[in-house]
Amino acid sequence: MNDNKIIIFDTTLRDGEQSPGASMNTAEKLQIALALERLGVDVMEAGFAAASAGDFDAVNQIAKQASNITVCSLSRALEKDIKTAADAIAPAKNKRIHTFIATSPIHMEYKLKMKPDEVIKRAVDAVMYAKSFCDDVEFSCEDAGRSEISFLKEICDAAIGAGAKTINLPDTVGYRLPLEISAMIEQMVKFIDGRAIVSVHNHNDLGLATSNSLASIVAGARQVECTINGIGERAGNAALEEIVMAIKTRQDIFAPLYTDIIAKEIYPISRLIATITGIEPQPNKAIVGKNAFAHESGIHQDGVLKHKETYEIISAESIGLEKNSLVLGKHSGRHAFKDKLISLGFELDGDALNTAFEKFKDLADKKKDIFDDDIRALVSQEITKIPQAYEIVGLLQSSGGDLASASISIKHNGEIISDSALGNGTADAIFKVIDRISSISGVLKDYKVIAVSQGKDALAKVDVKVEFEGSHAVMGHGLDIDTMMASAKAYVAALNSYIRIKSLQI
Ligand code: KIV
Ligand code: ZN
């Protein structure tokens, strides 16, 4: 074990997916998994395999396609969860089972309704059972931040005795301050004394997740759990990009500690996550926010022009942020297009490249200036597409006065079905027609539209969240020059996702 390397454990696909509205389909998760490998992440928590058939499928597909990265599945300290996790990650070259149980008095009494001794026994049984499938087992004390240190020592000692190689101490509710986390980690590192790697997992409820993670590293933790753009349950997790860039930028404090993250991949993966989840980082978000490298005041601009480092501690280029340059146009060839994709972090060949190139040409016919963000949105839509049970082939719409109308043609099982409806606004009319054609009715829970790049002819990206037939809400994304067409595509994408999830559950 190298004592100076900080292991980066990314949980964007698991804790990140627990962000309200961030659920992703298998194709989307696969695309993110490939990007995490390019980024140089050490361990990727690909999901919680026992949560649903869709989650199992995603973890399993990722395990099949991953090369050297360690693929991990979360599981409660229950045999059936652990077995499901083991089955899902089985195809991976490097794999890990991550099992957890709550250790704080409040969780043990009210949630688990278990005595501390029973919790220890459950943890030991879980680790031993996980070990029967996989050598690399991580054990987490959920709500470690509010657990008693003497109990943490007792249970971690037992988990290590049962074979856990990593002990994770989450501040599950984001309650602790850096000085408290630092004291806890220092004590636990001393107690564990090299028998397992000490890991941290900090939530951001008080805006301290990154600070707590950095304080933990200084106190001896050698694994940090984090997510891209800091997405995650409630206020989110520690942001990978913030931790990594702090370690890199402040080597005067952190050396000889380092990570294996390739900083130039940070911006591309941040955009990929925002595009897929529809969750944009706040504009002033450190490292990856839209304004992170924008200098507004005259004094700052003047300083930066004279000498960049007057107001910049990190260069935009170092995280792979090229200015939103005008890129390709109508006359660009396949070769230039492929080069552009590579520079944006996409690896496409064969049919996938041909389809993406056709979509690009279609767009270039309609839109004069095509920006990096247009290409990112277009390509990630294409490669994350799931089987299309329904596909929009035509849309006519009108609005005026109190009512709007929409007529839609949809391809389904090789047949074209057309229908029309009236609605309170065009989007409402569109969604009604789609419900009618599919005979599956949906309740719209969220609807968001953004302009992907600049200009009056910017591409519109619509994200919807829909509950079909009273089941769990699914997300759908649609991209088009026309906002209403993008809305129709997004709704149909959600419908296709729902149909796929339903088919996996049978
Ligand atoms: O926040 C938390 O405690 C978790 C654990 C399951 C690791 O996400
Ligand atoms: Zn968490």
- Sorted by sequence, the CB contacts under 8 Å of residue 489 that are 6+ apart come out as 392, 462, 476, 478, 479, 480
Residue 136, domain member (yes or no)? yes
* DSSP assignment letter at 489: H
One domain for residues 344 and 398: no
Residue 30 near residue 245, CB atoms below 8 Å: no
Q: Check: CB of residue 74 under 8 Å from CB of residue 100.
A: yes
Q: Quick check: 27 pLDDT over 90?
A: no
Rounded CA separation 254/394 (Å): 58
Give yes or no for residue 1 having a pLDDT over 70. Answer: no
What does DSSP say about strands 415-423 and 474-480: parallel, antiparallel, or unpaired? unpaired
The protein residues having their C-beta less than 5 angstroms from ligand 2 (an ion) are: 15
Q: In the structure, which protein residues have their CB atom closer than 6 angstroms to any atom of ligand 1?
A: 15, 100, 140, 142, 168, 170, 172, 201, 203
- Does residue 84 share a domain with residue 161? yes
The answer to whether the CB of 54 falls within 8 A of the CB of 497 is: no
Say if CB 34 and CB 10 are below 8 A apart. no
pLDDT in tens, 323-374: 655 567 788 888 888 888 877 777 777 888 888 898 888 888 888 778 888 8
For 428, residues 6+ apart whose C-beta sits below 8 A from its C-beta are 404
CA 10 distance to own-chain centroid: 9
Task: Assess if residue 429 is contained within a domain.
Answer: yes
Output the pLDDT for position 505. 64
Binding residues: 15, 201, 203, 237
Q: Domain containing 314: what range?
A: 291-321
Statement to judge: residues 338 and 317 lie in one domain: no
The answer to whether residues 358 and 458 belong to one domain is: no
Band (443; pLDDT cuts 50, 70, 90) = very high
Task: For Cα atoms 211, 289, 16, give the angle at the middle one, nearest 5 degrees.
Answer: 65
Q: Do β-strands 70-76 and 474-480 pair in parallel, antiparallel, or remain unpaired? A: unpaired
CB atoms within 10 A of CB 341: 19
What is the pLDDT, as a whole number, of residue 188? 98
CATH number of the domain residue 451 falls in: 3.30.160.270
The atom of ligand 1 lying closest to the CA of 15 is 8
Range in 333-342, 379-388, 460-469 with the lowest mean pLDDT: 379-388
Q: Which of 10, 201, 202, 204 to mutate to test the pocket of ligand 1 (most atoms within 8 A of CB)?
A: 201
pLDDT 10s digits, 204-217: 999 999 999 999 99
Question: In the prediction, which pLDDT does 138 show?
Answer: 98
Q: What is the pTM of this model?
A: 0.86
Task: Answer whether residue 295 shows pLDDT above 80.
Answer: no
- Strand-pairing partners, residue 70, are 43, 94
Tell me, yes or no, whether 357 lies in a domain.
Answer: yes
Average pLDDT over residues 177-185: 98
Task: Tell me how far the alpha carbon of residue 506 is from its chain's centroid.
Answer: 27
| Ligand located closest to 168 CA | 1
* Tokens, residue 327: 């890129």
User: Are 163 and 200 found together in one domain?
Assistant: yes
User: For 50, left (φ over 0), alpha (ψ -120 to 50), or beta?
Assistant: alpha
Confidence (pLDDT) at 323: 61
Mutate to test the pocket of ligand 1, among 12, 15, 234 (most ligand atoms within 8 A of CB): 15
pLDDT at 418 over 90: yes
Residue 278 has a pLDDT of 83
Ligand nearest to the CA of 230: 2
Q: What is the pLDDT of residue 473?
A: 85
Give me the mean pLDDT over the 244-273 stretch: 96
- 336 or 491, greater pLDDT: 491
Mean pLDDT of the chain: 92
